[in-house]
Amino acid sequence: MKDLPKTDLATLKKDISAGKYMLFFTADWCPDCRFIKPAMPEIEKTYSDYQFLKVDRDENIDLAGEMNIMGIPSFVAYDNGQEIGRFSNADRKTKQEVESFIDSLQK
C-alpha cells in the first residue's frame, strides 16, 4: 500500500483522476486502525482493481477535514476522480465489513 503524502483535496482529485482508488484513513495511535491493518494486504490482493492509498490522518488533518472524515479507520473509494462511496465512522471495522463495502461498489 502506497503512503499518500501531505496534500489537499484539489491536488488529490487531480492525482487520482484516472483509475480506481481506495483511500484508507488511519493513524499510528488508533487501536481500531491497528485492528484492521493485518487484513489490509489480503483485501488489497482481493480487490486489485483498486490502488490502495494509506492516508495518515494526522499528517493530512486538513484533507480529512475537507473530506469530512470524522472517524478512523475510514475508507473512501474513487473512480476516475469521482467519489463513489465511503465507509466512514468511528467504529472498529472487520475484514468482512470492509469487503462488503467494496463489494457494494461493484453494483
80 pLDDT band (50/70/90 cuts)? very high
Q: Model confidence over 2-35: pLDDT tens digits?
A: 999 999 999 999 999 999 999 999 999 999 999 9
Catalytic residue status for 41: no
**What domains are defined for the chain?**
2-105 (3.40.30.10)
pLDDT above 70 for 107: no
Catalytic residue list contains 60: no
| Catalytic one of 4, 16, 23, 30 | 30
Segment 40-72, tens digit of pLDDT: 999 999 999 999 999 999 999 999 999 999 899
Sheet with 82-88, strands from edge to edge, namely 2-3, 51-56, 20-26, 74-79, 82-88
Q: Which of 4, 12, 33, 102 is catalytic?
A: 33
**pTM (2 decimals)?**
0.93
